[in-house]
Every structure is written in structure tokens, then in C-alpha cells.
Amino acid sequence: MATHSVLVLLDTPTIEVRSAAKELLTLARNIGEPVAVAFEAPNEKTIEQLKEYGVRRLFLGTVEGGASHHLTPVAAELLAQAVEMTQARAVLASPTFENKEISARLAYAIGAGLVIDTVKVGLEGDNFVGYKRVFAGSWDVDCTIRTPIAVATVRANAVIPAPADTPSESLEIVEFSVAPSELATSAYMVSRTEHAPIAGGSGRPKLAEAAFVVAGGRGTNGDYGPVEELADALGGAVGATRDAVDEGWIEHDAQIGQTGVTVAPRVYIGAGISGAPHHRGGMQASGIIIGVNSDADAPIFEICDFGVVGELQDVLPQAAAAIRAYKEGQYEI
């Protein structure tokens, strides 16, 4: 089984291999041979990172006829060709909205089993299994894929990324091209704009991929300064509740919940958040949950690993200062 190829879709090959992709490569290495696939040429940093994670082959797909690989039907057809060329048993992708659509189209096209937002993947006999949480985090389910090929999008922070024990000495880049079908190009892209991370934090990770998330709710009263300060001290992302978004205090991209972004960071800090079911459904799979609220009876304390009863405007700046001091070596925790 270890000789079977497991394709990993790279989202940002022209920049670097981000943490989410490193996790996918780690998972792929545990169940087979990791093979990377990209639609843009990798830079030298990406190539070195791939070799560090034990990747020996990268399939670089291009589109004939001028269509854009950013169109999800086109990307799915590129991936289908990569699956055929590698005889891959599984395809793994990060859980972006775009990748979920690509994965669904790919699975339909090649007759593969599909699991969306799995927290990890494994093998049981000859079958791939996806493990995920459903019904707002209240159930854990094992999804056995009985088709010859498995397709899965994997939540960020599912595993701790680890380089290969024996890095690859070289990386073979195999180029291929696909002439997309008429159906795939029946819609075409007019323009494409990439938005910066929310709240002006250009150095912050993406909300769905962050290992640390600090979210603020109605208790912020519109002042996200303490939330941003703690998030930046941790190197994390800023999130919000639907109430805060509806009030116009922060962009919709920051909303965590059943109609927003689903996150599963290693550490989630909810400040001034009551813990309504809508919000809990988007963060309950987090590794460690910390709640900060002035109301000791707030529902969020029912699911917290640690709870702090106090005003977030007092608690968060103190926590941020302590973290910065620790990073600077001023004291040990």
C-alpha cells in the first residue's frame, strides 16, 4: 500500500508550501507516496520545501486554449488528468471553498468517493477512511471510501506537519497540458481580485488555516483592538461572530459559524462571545478552547477547556503583553 501515489494539490506553489499543504504532505506520506500537483510553476523555495517533505515528483499542469485554471471545472479536469498519469489512490486538498468545489467535480468525473472537511485520513485494510465531525461538532464519524480512488479536503491543523526522515535528493517536475472541455469553459472569468487578510493584518495567516484564532463577539462593542493585539502576539488570525459582522464592526470574511468559516485551530480564544449554537458549530472542533467573558454563566464556558471571567478589554492586553515578554525571553512560563 505504501507504494500507491497520493496526490496533494498545492495552492501557492509560486510563493511557498504553506502550513496547510505541509500537513497534507505529512498525511500523504503516512498512507502512500506523496506526489505534488500544481497549476503554476513552483519557485526555488517551494521546490526545497517539497524535497524536505519527501516529495520526489511534482506534476505541473497547464491549460490549452487560454482558459484559466482558476475556473473550478478546468482545475478539476487538470486534476483528473494528473490522477490518470500517476494512478493515484487518493487526492488531498486544503478546505478552501474553491478546493471543495474542485474536489466535488473531480470525484464525480472519476467516480471517486468524496469526504469534505475531514480532520484526518487513514487506511483500514485497502479502504481509505476520513474522520470528521458533523452536526455542529456533536458527532464524530468515520467515512469509509469503498471506491478505488478517494478524494478529500482536510481541515487545517489536522496533524502537526513533519519533514520526512529522509528528504528527497531531487524533485522531478513532470509537465502536462489539458484542453478543457466545452462544458468546463462554458463560464469564463472576467476578473479576479485577491483580498488581503481581514482587519489590516497583512502578516496574519488565513483564518481557516491558522493554528491560533482569537475571535471577538458582541462584548467587544466594536473595538477589535484587544482581539487583534492578542492575535498578533500569538501569530494567529482574527475571527468574529455573526452579531459582530451584522453590526458592521468587521468584515464577513472573519465570521466563524455555520454560515461562516469553520475553523479547527490548535488554540481558539473566544472573547466577549456568549457561545450561541450557530457560532459553536464553526469552532467546536478546536484543539483547546479558551473563553473570556464577563458573564460567568455564558454558554461558551460549557465547552471551554479554560475559562476567564472578566472584561476582555482588561484580560486580552495582559495576555498579549505576557506572550510578548515570554517570546523575548524575559521570563519562563
Q: How does pLDDT run across 166-197, given as a tens digit for each residue?
A: 999 999 999 999 999 988 888 877 887 766 65
Q: How far apart are CA 258 and CA 180, in angstroms?
A: 34
Whether the Cβ atoms of residue 143 and residue 132 lie closer than 8 Å to each other: yes
Task: Report the amino acid identity of residue 28.
Answer: A
Return the closest-CA partner of residue 258 out of 284, 287, 238, 233. 284
Helices and strands in the chain, H and E counts: 8, 15
Instruction: Kindly report, residue by residue over 14-69, the tens digit of the pLDDT.
Output: 999 998 899 999 999 999 999 999 999 999 999 999 999 999 999 999 999 877 88
Whether the Cβ atoms of residue 15 and residue 42 lie closer than 8 Å to each other: no
Q: How far apart are the first and last CA of the chain?
A: 44
C-alpha cell belonging to residue 296: 460567568
Which pLDDT value is given to residue 332? 62
Which pLDDT value is given to residue 202? 56
Residue with the three cell numbers 516529495: 55
Whether the Cβ atoms of residue 292 and residue 286 lie closer than 8 Å to each other: no
Higher pLDDT, 231 or 140: 231
Which pLDDT value is given to residue 65? 81
Whether the Cβ atoms of residue 38 and residue 31 lie closer than 8 Å to each other: no
Which CA distances in Å does 74 have to 60, 226, 237, 329? 14, 43, 31, 50
Which pLDDT value is given to residue 43? 95
Which pLDDT value is given to residue 134? 75
Higher pLDDT, 152 or 259: 152
pTM above 0.85, yes or no: no
Residue with the three cell numbers 467515512: 143
Whether the Cβ atoms of residue 296 and residue 275 lie closer than 8 Å to each other: no
